[in-house]
Amino acid sequence: MPTKTALLVIDAQESFRHRPYFRAEDLPPYIERQQALIDGAKAAGIPVVQVFHVEETGVFSEGSGFVVPLAPLRIEPDAVFRKRRHSALVGSGLDVWLIETGIRRLIVSGIRTEQCCETTTRHASDLGFDVDYVGEATLTFPMTDANGRTWSAAEIRARTELVLAGRFARIATVGEALAGPPVKAAA
């Protein structure tokens, strides 16, 4: 019996365009891979779950008008959840929906690579879900550490994939994630 799967599209919302760290240069390849994942999931009958990050004030508040899908992303989600924490599984009701729906495998994508996507991946793994982390369908922005070194978005993605691989998730391409879990060799 195949494992029931859901695609999580985490925080792919207009709010990020209004943050001082937003950089548009990585947006086109991210949108292309995220859209391929959404379209592929729909075609395969995999439920698409959209998660929005919300806060009381600012560009992540419901009243800002920016808690909407990141343009030009086209998404018709099967379920929508709002979260106030880094993990999409804390306080949003997503965890209950996944259990009630019989989902045991998650495909994680969205914004930001090293924050909400990574945190949700770790949390899901600890809860016993099988997780495919699709780094090419995540987006982040350069960050400067305490020593003054600026880490590129590509370096942050590589670091995130390194620490998740084999411990919390399978690192997968869009195609690999849509193909399903890896076939386990017979003993």
Tell me the domain boundaries of the chain: 5-179
3-state secondary structure the chain: CCCCEEEEEECCEHHHHHCCCCCCCCHHHHHHHHHHHHHHHHHHCCCEEEEEECCCCHHHCHHHCCCCECCCCCCCCCEEEEECCCCCCCCCCHHHHHHHHCCCEEEEEEECHHHHHHHHHHHHHHCCCEEEEEEEEEECCCEECCCCCEECHHHHHHHHHHHHECCCEEECCHHHHHHCCCCCCCC
Which pLDDT score is estimated for 1?
A: 43
Which pLDDT score is estimated for 181?
A: 84
CATH of domain 5-179: 3.40.50.850
pTM of the model as a whole: 0.95
Query: Residue with structure tokens 């292309």?
Result: 32
Which pLDDT score is estimated for 186?
A: 55
Which pLDDT score is estimated for 76?
A: 97
Which pLDDT score is estimated for 130?
A: 97
Which pLDDT score is estimated for 92?
A: 97
Written as tens digits, the pLDDT of the chain (187 aa) is: 456 999 999 999 999 999 999 999 999 999 999 999 999 999 999 999 999 999 999 999 999 999 999 999 999 999 999 999 999 999 999 999 999 999 999 999 999 999 999 999 999 999 999 999 999 999 999 999 999 999 999 999 999 999 999 999 999 999 999 999 876 655 5
